[in-house]
Copies of this chain bind each other. A is one copy, B any other.
Amino acid sequence: MRVSAKADYAVRAVAELAASPDGPVKGERLADSQDIPLQFLEHILLDLKHSGIVRARRGAKGGYWLAKPAEDVSIADVIRAVEGPIAHVQSAPPESITYTGSARELQNVWIAVRASLRDVLESTSLADLVSGNLPDNVQRLADDKDAWEPR
């Protein structure tokens, strides 16, 4: 249940793209501004390109840009592009698992876990992220003082 460097980098990179609306942004500039190893970032951007989130052009004046309006790209989209499906259990989607005995209800718990993650990650678009205007449900969660407590 952790967020990988790859996912973190990916979101930061596309956030930077969402904030640079006009024209291609070079990989190097993304790497610099978000302090991400350039060559690692290029692989990530390739993943993002393959899943249709960014587009790219080579050569001088080349770079990366969002393939869609920032409002139409959710953080969930970005994470799935680089990490694969969210909240799989033992590499299988929770809806495909059946438990027996005392763990019979566990499937519902994993489904709820996935749903709650989706509630946050799918409702937040890149536009929300860069504007600082997070969706109400997300902002409410982040405003809870208890949410900032380590455990």
Chain A contacts to B: CB under 8 angstroms: 1-5, 7-8, 11-12, 15-16, 18-19, 33-34, 75-76, 79-80, 83, 85-91, 93, 95, 99-106, 108-121, 124, 129-130, 132, 134, 138-139, 141-142, 144, 146-151
Contacts and interface: CB of A to CB of B under 8 A. Distances in A.
B34 A103 contact: yes
A31 to B, nearest CB: 12
Contact of A99 (B12, B93, B138, B144): B12
Q: At the interface, is chain A mostly helix, strand, loop or mixed?
A: helix
Copies in the complex: 2
Given A3-B87, A109-B142, A113-B117, A33 B101 contact: yes
